[in-house]
Structure 1
Amino acid sequence: MSITSSHSSTPLASRSLARRVFDRAVASPGFRVGAAIFLALMLATALYPELSAIDPTKMDVKARLLPPLFTGTNWNWGHPLGTDQIGRDMLVRSLVGLRYSFLIGMASVIVMLIVGCALGTVAGYFGGRTDAVIMRLTDAQLSIPMIILAIAVLGVSRPTIPAIVLVLGMSNWPVYARMMRSIVMTERQREFVRAAKIGGSTDLRIIVTLLLPLLLPSVLFSSVLDVARMMIFESTLGFLGLGVQPPTPTFGNIIADGRKYLLNAWWIATMPGLFLGLTLTSINLMGAALERARDTVHAGGE
């Protein structure tokens, strides 16, 4: 994942550049398809669990292991995607699982953006010993596999949503730190930065009001794909028992429950897997379109 430095020389020009990138991405068929799938899933996630008034954790032993309607062997319209081994509705559980997984993925990316961009900006702007210390920290962090960090942090206590968000975010911030460092080292030599220094602006003011507005749009475009990656990692943790704990449904723990019933109740693991796959596909389509548009605009393709 690479970032090409903007040809613009002012934050105002950068905002115009970001708008052109977004408009070009929206014009692509891939982005539109991804956005349509994503919006449909988000609307279903927001509305169906509330409108159906079905509790995703409520057991109904009489309705256990009902297959989905499309199999033709179950005509219980109250459970269109069937039920699990203790009678919980699979459609509601999958949608609520999507809600938790997406929110955790988004929050994790926000954490890594804040930490990585802050440290990378400081390292690139000040250089010298500050840069050396921060870069050694990033090297140390990159040497620790995410799963090892998760086991160390989440394995010693009951995993909570804030703890999972922190683990995922802190395991991937070095990518953004290095990205921002390389861009800031170039942009700090621009005329408008030197003019601001001559005018008496402090380093903090230059970073906050000039550099960050100039550089963040390109980084944010790249972060879209990381939402999908964090959702995969969150589901992996849930599958291993290190994610959000039952009875709260997430993709990982639902699929983990369903693996025992793959032969006679395949839908328990398949339905959340299908929703996860659709969500990841939609995010990847939008993220890829944004990156292609960014690279084209930066290369002078418009």
Structure 2
Amino acid sequence: MSVIVETSPSRIAPSLTRSIPRRVFDKAASMPGFRIGLAIFVLLVLAAALYPEISGIDPTKMNVRARLLPPLFIGENWSLAHPLGTDQIGRDMLVRSLVGLRYSFLIGVASVVVMLIIGCTLGTIAGYFGGRTDSIIMRLTDAQLSIPMIILAIAVLGVSRPTIPAIILVLGLSNWPVYARIMRSIVMTERQREYVRASKLGGSTDLRIILTLLVPLLLPPVLFTSVLDVARMMIFESTLGFLGLGVQPPTPTFGNIIADGRKYLLNAWWIATMPGIFLGLTLTSINLMGASLERARNTIHGGSE
């Protein structure tokens, strides 16, 4: 006599997908690109977190006597106390670059979080309920996509003093439609699956289905993709700072340091170059990790079908 054991589809789907993020991470961790990117990223984060505190150097304090000192072993007037040189008013370039990395990374991560919250929420609602709700949200998405980020930044940041929360909000509001469209398309497909129908027949509410079935299934691949968006937001933040719409001096950020240094490219090139090198290394490390995670996800997803 055979025994048939019924298992709820609403339980099968989440259980099959819980291990996917771990499998993707394990697969990516075996890739050389991910390891190199992670090593560079960890070193930069540790340096940004520890060196400014250990050195005791104030990134905003002026020292006219030490102005325009070159980096170590370049020229004749270099100083061991300022290994990457100083700027036009004697501020240490290494400390300023590392503090700039702090602000740039903070703004990049926070703006991506805003994008995820707004985009994934609206995209999930549009894809799940459809109809008039879908039409309204998609028209809102199209309207937002028609506004260039720089125009929104000028409108919001140009009328008041730019602050970190305001910059985060501008970047998040400029880019959430991408996630809304991704989530909408995936949810529209998933809502027709058997495990969603079975959950509805079992008496589950729409909110419960979204939070317990769809979100755990759909959020991991979006999160992996969002790693690359952190690098993109850091570039946008630096662009705003360069144009004078970012965090305002004397707080050091990549954008305003490079903007200050462009006047001294001929006789003090390191002022603009050093923060550019740190920004380039950070973006390279994040892109290496993000690309590895994306390849690992595609490999696992393709192999499971």
Q: TM-score, normalised by structure 2?
A: 0.95
Q: CA RMSD in A?
A: 1.2
**2:134 aligns to what?**
131
Residues 234-267 of structure 1, C-alpha deviations (whole Å, 9 max, x = no match): 0000000000000000000000000000000000
Following TM superposition, by how much is the alpha carbon of 1:47 offset from its aligned partner in structure 2, in angstroms?
0.3
**1:154 aligns to what?**
157
Question: Judging changes above 3 Å, is the alpha-carbon distance between structure 1 residues 66 and 44 closer, same or farther for their aligned structure 2 residues?
Answer: same
Aligned equivalents of 1:198, 1:70: Cα separation in 2: 74
Aligned equivalents of 2:75, 2:297: Cα separation in 1: 47
**1:56 aligns to what?**
59
Report matched runs for 1:248-287 at 5 Å: 248-287=251-290
2:200 maps to 1:197: yes
Following TM superposition, by how much is the alpha carbon of 1:70 offset from its aligned partner in structure 2, in angstroms?
3.3
| SS of match in other structure, 1:96 | helix
Question: Judging changes above 3 Å, is the alpha-carbon distance between structure 1 residues 146 and 25 closer, same or farther for their aligned structure 2 residues?
Answer: same
Aligned equivalents of 1:228, 1:163: Cα separation in 2: 19
Following TM superposition, by how much is the alpha carbon of 1:43 offset from its aligned partner in structure 2, in angstroms?
0.3
2:99 maps to 1:96: yes
2:39 maps to 1:36: yes
Following TM superposition, by how much is the alpha carbon of 1:9 offset from its aligned partner in structure 2, in angstroms?
5.8
Following TM superposition, by how much is the alpha carbon of 1:13 offset from its aligned partner in structure 2, in angstroms?
1.4
Report matched runs for 1:173-184 at 5 Å: 173-184=176-187
**1:187 aligns to what?**
190
Unpaired runs of 5+ residues, structure 2, are 1-10
Following TM superposition, by how much is the alpha carbon of 1:74 offset from its aligned partner in structure 2, in angstroms?
3.3
Aligned equivalents of 1:260, 1:38: Cα separation in 2: 30
Larger Rg over CA atoms: 2
**Aligned pairs, number:** 295
**1:239 aligns to what?**
242
Which residue of 60, 67, 76 maps to 1:73? 76
**1:140 aligns to what?**
143
Moved over 2 A (4+): 72-75
Aligned equivalents of 1:116, 1:268: Cα separation in 2: 38
CA contact (8 A) 1:9 1:190 kept: no
% of aligned pairs identical? 83
Question: Judging changes above 3 Å, is the alpha-carbon distance between structure 1 residues 270 and 301 closer, same or farther for their aligned structure 2 residues?
Answer: farther
Which residue of 226, 231, 253 maps to 1:228? 231
**2:218 aligns to what?**
215
CA contact (8 A) 2:157 2:167 kept: yes
2:119 maps to 1:116: yes
**1:3 aligns to what?**
none
Aligned equivalents of 1:225, 1:36: Cα separation in 2: 17
2:22 maps to 1:19: yes
Following TM superposition, by how much is the alpha carbon of 1:194 offset from its aligned partner in structure 2, in angstroms?
1.0
Unpaired runs of 5+ residues, structure 1, are 1-7
